[in-house]
Structure 1
Amino acid sequence: MTRWLIRTAALALLVLLAVALWQHFAPRPAPPPPVPLTGEIDLIVLDKSDRRMTVFRDGKALRSYNVALGFAPDGSKERQGDGKTPEGEFTIDRRNPQSAFHLSLGIDYSRAQDRAHAAALGVSPGGDIFFHGQPNLLPDIIRRKGDWTEGCIALTNAEIEELWRVTPIGTRVIITP
């Protein structure tokens, strides 16, 4: 009888220890997704050093996103193929629902000053800089890691869908180092 009591107490202690450890180390449930943005935004600010983009309406920050940049992100874009994301003030000037990267919103790079700078270097400034999603060849749940674009700004597909809904042509874009 004593042996049975010791075994039962030891088993109960093991169960309590397992439950306590599980409660302490178990993965936490994912937070609920944020409420979808509605209305239109009027400003996008991208901080390249933080890989963080924030969208605004009437001076109020509405949402921030982690982004991927060009494969050589330090410095501003100078030439086609340099893998840099441009810096400065731009405007959303086009929308592409048939993008090879889910959806895309284009900025007005290259500007006159970008073309003049590239001409002084004897190179092409490049162009076609977009906010876009992940490559269409990847499943929606996959997100490429690191900086991998040719100079564009990449988000998840769900994020670019949200940005697409709230970003009109003419939205100001500020990209800082």
Structure 2
Amino acid sequence: MRIKLPCALIAMSLAACAEGQPIPQTQEADKPAMAIPAAPATSPTSLPVVADGVKANRIIVDKSDRVLILYDGDTEIARYSGIRFGDAPAGHKQFEGDEKTPEGEYRINGRNPASRYHLSLRISYPNAADRAYAKSQGKDPGGDIFIHGQPNGYNDPVIARDWTDGCIALSNAEIAQIWKLVPDGTKIIIQP
């Protein structure tokens, strides 16, 4: 399925997830649907019910199942389905511009309430191993990878295809709930 977006929004949604990155001029505005089938995104009316005061201390992202799960210790506290990734979702991010979402263990190391996308939690990619590998190949590992919502000003249904440049995208209602449940420093494990 293809989604038709207004021209201004196409530029925003295809721009790098990184705040302040220039918009790549070589990307097509209407890319084909993702190659990996996905479950429908959780609707705002079906957000997980989480007890007051509970916070996550671990996030698991399963790219093949397209789920993001929050844990408090060994207890699952929330699950979000149908999450979206970079335009090239298979494989680990290695270089700037490869449009892949990282795989491995990282941390939530910051947040941006004024992001170009509805809220954003920064993932600590690249780590030392990512930087060393990219350097050995004479390339830049990239960075500014986030968990975020939809582009600001976008009021249509959730974008139903992979559309980021390596970030993890959810609905605005989902990221708003995650924002409250996930403190800085939370471990995130992104699995293939």
**TM class, shorter-length:** 0.7 to 0.9
1:165 aligns with 2:177: no
One-letter identity of the residue aligned with 1:108:
S
- Is residue 48–residue 79 contact of structure 2 (8 Å, CA) maintained in 1? no
Deviation at 1:35, TM superposition (A): 2.5
TM-score calculated relative to the size of structure 1: 0.79
Match of 1:35?
Answer: 49
138, 153, 157: which one aligns with 2:154: 138
What CA deviation, in whole Å up to 9, does each residue of 1:63-122 have, x standing for no partner?
111210111011100100101000000000001000111100001101111011001111
Deviation at 1:32, TM superposition (A): 5.9
CA distance in 2, matches of 1:32, 1:77: 31
One-letter identity of the residue aligned with 1:64:
R
Larger Rg: 1
Identity level (%): 47
1:78 aligns with 2:126: no
CA distance in 2, matches of 1:101, 1:122: 31
1:154 aligns with 2:154: no
Q: Structure 1 unaligned segments of length 5 or more: list them.
A: 1-30
Q: Structure 2 unaligned segments of length 5 or more: list them.
A: 1-44
CA distance in 2, matches of 1:122, 1:172: 29
77, 87, 96: which one aligns with 2:103: 87
Provide closer, same or farther for how the CA distance between residues 37 and 159 of structure 1 changes in structure 2, counting only shifts above 3 A.
farther
TM-score calculated relative to the size of structure 2: 0.73
Q: Any residues of structure 2 matched to 1:111-122 within 5 Å, and which? A: 111-122=127-138
Aligned length: 147
